[in-house]
Amino acid sequence: MMSGPPAGGASIGRDASSDDRPAGRLALVTGAGSGIGRAVAIALARPRTTVIVVGRRPAQLRVTAAAIEAVGGTAQTVTADLADDQSIADLVRTAASTGGGRLGILVHCAASHLTASVDDTTAADLDAILQVNLRSPFELTRSALPLLRAARGDIVFMNSSAARSAPASNSAYAASKAGLRAFADSLRAEVNRDGIRVLSVFPGRTATAMQAAIFETEGKSYRPELLLQPEDIAAAVIAALDLPRTAELTDLHVRPAIKSP
């Protein structure tokens, strides 16, 4: 949840710090307590934009909210476990009441990772990964579609380079991300006619707490300065969202520019 050039037939050359994004919109970001999710939530902030930041840890969400408000946005924190369908239903109701029935941007950044061989991966392990990485984004998107249609909004799925090239000992994680990619592609074919754009982002290795844990599991030295930064991914997402509504970027592949020695 490593890459080639962007696909989708559109350029993202516009400055990601541009101020011509629509104001007065509502955005919702899952996994917003840290890492890429936090960076995206902060990048979405601007005057008259409300960002609903969703995660499982209230203290981390408060840090994200404070950063959003420091740059002129409005933040609303929602502590939720998206493995629970009732929590998803409650979250969509919150978005509806906050945005007046319209949701301009939905960003799925919540994810879970498992490093294990097929021999060591149990059915319960697989179910847990699929629940977080595939089923929850599916259900949240499905439930939020009326709000997104009303706003002619954007949906962003934070995927992974593992969806395209699955390494050893990542079968469950890579399968969940490949499924997420297929879901996004099918969804796009259904909702483009409603004015909704769907973007899948495939980052290479990014300097996050999750990646640090992966390096430790792999027995490798963690050098975050050689990896993508969360803010790099956020800038790429904002650039894609800034495209005119006559254009849609469908698949965005981002990899570290600095190569390990």
Contact status, residue 163 vs residue 181, Cβ threshold 8 Å: yes
Residue 191 lies in a domain: yes
Q: For the chain, give percent helix, strand, coil, nearest 5.
A: 45, 15, 40
Instruction: Pick the closest to residue 89 from 39, 131, 142 (CA basis).
Output: 142
Domain limits for position 95: 26-250
Residue 1 covered by a domain: no
Catalytic residues: 173
The answer as to whether 13 is a domain residue is no
Arithmetic mean of pLDDT over the chain: 89
Separation CA 181–CA 56 (nearest Å):
24
**Structural tokens at position 169:** 């000992």
The domain that holds 128 is classified in CATH as 3.40.50.720
| pLDDT given for residue 2 in this prediction | 32
Distance linking the first and last C-alpha atoms of the chain: 25
- Judge whether 215 and 236 are in contact, CB under 8 Å: no
The 10s digit of each residue's pLDDT in 105-152 is 999 999 998 889 999 999 999 999 999 999 999 999 999 999 999 999
pTM for the full predicted model: 0.87
Whether 52 is covered by a domain: the verdict is yes
Q: What is the pLDDT of residues 50-75, one digit of tens each?
A: 999 999 999 999 999 999 999 999 99
Number of independent structural domains in the chain: 1
